[in-house]
Amino acid sequence: MMTINQVPPDVAVWAADEFISYFKNFTNLEEYLRAVKKSVITQSSCLFDIKDEFFNEDIHPEDMDFDIRLVGDRFPNSVPQEYYKNLLRAVSSHNNEDNIPGRELRLMVYEKNSNKIIGFIRLQSPLINSKPRNEWLGKAPDLKIFNRHAVMGFAIVPSQPFGYNYLGGKLLALMCVSHFMREKLNEVFEKDIALFETTSLYGSSSSSSQYDGLKPFIRHKGLTDSKFIPTLYSEAFHRLHDTFIKWNNNEPLTENRASSKKLKRQTKMISIIRNSLKDVDEDKLKEFNAIIDMAFGLTEKKRFYISDYGYGNVREVIAGNHTKLVRGQNWDKFYLENIIAWWKKKAGKRYDKLKAEGRFRDKVELWTEDDDIQIIR
């Protein structure tokens, strides 16, 4: 689709000042994430009376059992979408987008004895480009083959204090790579899933990730290559994009179904502002470029993780060297009951240690305008 390359100088100056006014408030990633999260919370109306929905029991991991429930009215006996979104918004430090192109599967996980929520999962089609994936494969994959076999974890979020007390993030990640989940994905996506990918939410800001220490189920495969400018949050973004739409023959700057459309639209706006200020207002262009460079520095490379679901030749199949998937020596370990048993041993040690040291937590953590939750764990 055709888009403009310039707007009138006065519009470009106004737009540049919008970016400058927004990003000058942040000096690091945590400040940005906290501001975005609190903006989400102030626009939500049902987040502050739901603590009883979440797990906050003192139960040894060996005595736990779990129920993985699908989300959305396309599934029988499922969790409603709005319920999922509202509760995830209350728990997650990350701003989870609602409208995402492509196929996806959302799930909520309950501890059966208490019938309380312990976490949230969202799986969908993976990103097209990935440097660590290409390095692992030895080349960029054929996308037709890759898309048939790959899925990505975009939201794997434990509720607190379950995540802290019981290694809850690790449990959810392990569920994502179980045969139970693979079979459910094959059913819903009509694919032959054999590769799971995900990234840490934060890179160098945190010394570890919930995906570490999960071999042979999940393995670290390097750092993502891309850094990008964080997106303006809702009100500021829409104020800018609505203005650019007017100058673009009342058309959005990208297709409405484009992947990562918000980031792409923001990138296009930055390019238009630069083109419009060039040779017209060098001082404003210099100020604008400085704030964009600063905003770029707020983000960081993320750790990249994969799982082969116990297959022995996933790399060869996705690279196009093999045509048929073959079960590997770890295949049986990926059955859900075996994965949960493996987690129970690790979580039991964690539970015993926290109890012995008096560090077992007993407060449900939800995002409100006043709570000061540790955002980068």
Considering the domain architecture, whether residues 201 and 313 belong to the same structural domain is answered as yes
Question: 2-47 pLDDT, tens per residue?
Answer: 678 999 999 999 999 999 999 998 887 778 877 776 766 655 555 4
- Length of the chain measured in residues: 377
Residue 373 in this model has a pLDDT that exceeds 70: no
Asked whether residue 279 is assigned to any structural domain, the reply reads yes
Mean pLDDT score, 315-319 = 96
Considering the domain architecture, whether residues 164 and 151 belong to the same structural domain is answered as yes
Q: Which residue has the tokens 């903006």?
A: 39
Asked whether residue 159 is assigned to any structural domain, the reply reads yes
Considering the domain architecture, whether residues 16 and 55 belong to the same structural domain is answered as no
Considering the domain architecture, whether residues 101 and 112 belong to the same structural domain is answered as yes
Considering the domain architecture, whether residues 205 and 248 belong to the same structural domain is answered as no
Considering the domain architecture, whether residues 18 and 90 belong to the same structural domain is answered as no
Considering the domain architecture, whether residues 123 and 238 belong to the same structural domain is answered as no
Q: How many CA atoms lie within 13 A of 88 on its CB side?
A: 25
Question: 71-129 pLDDT, tens per residue?
Answer: 999 999 899 999 999 899 888 866 555 555 567 899 999 999 999 999 999 999 888 88
Sheet order of strands, 303-307 included? 66-70, 104-111, 116-124, 150-158, 195-199, 303-307, 219-223
Considering the domain architecture, whether residues 26 and 112 belong to the same structural domain is answered as no
Considering the domain architecture, whether residues 49 and 110 belong to the same structural domain is answered as yes
Residue 363 in this model has a pLDDT that exceeds 60: yes
Asked whether residue 39 is assigned to any structural domain, the reply reads no
Whole-number pLDDT of residue 376 = 42
Q: Which residue has the tokens 């929905």?
A: 53
Kindly tell me the burial class for residue 240, based on how many C-beta atoms sit within 10 Å of its own C-beta (0-12, 13-18, 19 or more).
Answer: buried
Whole-number pLDDT of residue 48 = 46
User: Domain ends where: 250, 274, 296?
Assistant: 296
Considering the domain architecture, whether residues 147 and 104 belong to the same structural domain is answered as yes
Asked whether residue 343 is assigned to any structural domain, the reply reads yes
CATH number of the domain residue 165 falls in: 3.40.630.30
Mean pLDDT score, 339-352 = 98
Considering the domain architecture, whether residues 15 and 126 belong to the same structural domain is answered as no
Domain of 243 in residue numbering reads as 9-30+229-296
Asked whether residue 237 is assigned to any structural domain, the reply reads yes
User: Domain ends where: 271, 296, 321?
Assistant: 296
Question: DSSP character for 70?
Answer: E
* Reported pTM: 0.83
Say how many domains are in the chain.
2
